[in-house]
Chains A and B, each alone.
Chain A
């Protein structure tokens, strides 16, 4: 099968949908001839024209609200926010409006929109352009939250997000844009709420999201050399979360490490750990659950500090070894 980049897969998913559905359009800052801050929409204004690839002023509150209002009245907008950090400016519209309108109106109306946005650190863009704020969004009933990790997944998940009748926050990790993978040319959909086991193993389960899926897979290769068999589960969507797949995996391995780039404190890893603690997989655990996440610090500029602020492969390896060395002792 042909290989394309994650970035190309995002563009292809949007373009294919826009070719068939006139209600789908994109809006965002510099998405026209500039092609967006990361080049995702490059070439799209040439194909679809400025009516459907709408270059907006720098007005994150208004463009989020306009996306929501148009969705409520029959369009299916895709909003590109240049950096996920700027969701703070769109937050009132997303949290107080998009997420709740249908419920507040007693089940009337719907907001079928996708807010796509590049997230994460690793580019040296420092504290206001490098955050991973997805846990905030997962806390809001009414929003769905997607965090794809591969070119194949991103294409199928974006199709599902566009087809979904609810507001979906769709995170694209910047460092994934250039990663390549096999991606079918035709359209396909990956259901929201379906985790993917990225690697099978028997000794320990790592649940990792976005860029950390790749770091976890690297760690797994290293650990295999020492005879440790790691299973890597990628939830792909945080809301809805496929707890079943995670529970099954933990029942098999009896050990769980959760890894995300976002700050560990208050991060989504806590939700995953709790889901296991509350499930019947708890009885299967042979060691305490371990969470690996970003340090509770704004992302620094210096490349060395920037790396140290978020989990790296050795941190994951260490966490896996710690869980393997710890045992829960039960007293009868």
Chain B
């Protein structure tokens, strides 16, 4: 793609380099998790966002610290991008007390309320109304934060999506609905499961703006989110951004991927968001050795997180009944 994408003004070269490293953190984290599941070292299930790093990093980079997100079952990238601690994430996947949820939540329920991550969600579409509620608090208490609500293409067929968008629209709430359209639900392709070209077209039905972007181009993601977040922060209500992307791995730990072709997978791999970002950074004159060193650092950080997780204690049976009620 040859178009020149402007950078949002607040973004410095250093910040871009940080984001590059962050994308590698996300990728290495999920690749590690994939490896552990394959070896049977982690229990339960997981949903990996390899190939979708630009949506998490790009979108969340446009938020302020006070802003909040709601995430999905495919939420490791969102958590990392919101400033989550990979040690606590890895420990959670290993079911340890040092994990984000003290070993009680696992991959699908990682939440980091302090950094404004209101949580991954095991219920498809479950987080969308929560984002609306968090935006309502912001409005009622004049807290001036914006909520970035992640959801998938599949989730946009849940009633919760439609009801939430309408509610946010009539109340003018500061929420940005960010659809990570990775082309499939579990196996249902968006082409078969909807009769519209773009999920963002649904915005029209609720009287809010909708925009379609290339979700594998981090700069495009940043620009679109910057605009939508500013609009929301200025009291001009919600909008939908639909980022077209692709999950490289299967839906969850066991998936024969019969619903798509290897050719299609290959095509999308060529649109690797990290490789594309690297090229942009090189074009901006950032030194390749420096970029490679960032990648190495990311890898090491993930290896350290495994060390941290495996050295952490398992929860005691006494903790079973804790935290049911406040």
Contacts and interface: CB of A to CB of B under 8 A. Distances in A.
Contacts of B51: none
A223 interface: no
B186 A37 contact: yes
A62 B314 contact: no
B122 A128 contact: yes
Contacts of B126: 128
Given A297-B321, A303-B95, A55 B192 contact: yes
B8 interface: no
Contact of A301 (B95, B125, B158): B95
B122 A30 contact: no
Interface string B77-118: 000000000000000100110000101111011000000000
A127 B111 CA distance: 14
Nearest to A303: B43
B159 A61 contact: yes
B188 A126 contact: no
A300 B106 CA distance: 8
Interface string A15-37: 00000000000000110111001
Given A57-B157, A57-B194, A58-B124, A128 B187 contact: no
Given A32-B187, A296-B324, 14 more contacts: A33-B258, A57-B154, A60-B158, A86-B123, A129-B108, A295-B320, A295-B321, A300-B315, A301-B92, A302-B103, A302-B315, A304-B317, A305-B95, A305-B104
B111 to A, nearest CB: 12
B173 to A, nearest CB: 23
B185 interface: yes
Contact of A124 (B45, B121, B186): B45
A309 interface: yes
Interface in A67-103: 85-86, 89
A184 interface: no
Interface of B: 43-45, 92, 95-96, 101, 103-106, 108-109, 121-126, 154-155, 157-159, 185-188, 192-194, 255, 258-259, 314-315, 317, 319-321, 324
Contacts of B193: 57-58
A118 B159 CA distance: 22
B317 A305 contact: yes
12 contacts: A33-B187, A34-B255, A58-B188, A58-B193, A60-B158, A85-B123, A89-B159, A126-B44, A126-B106, A298-B324, A301-B105, A309-B320
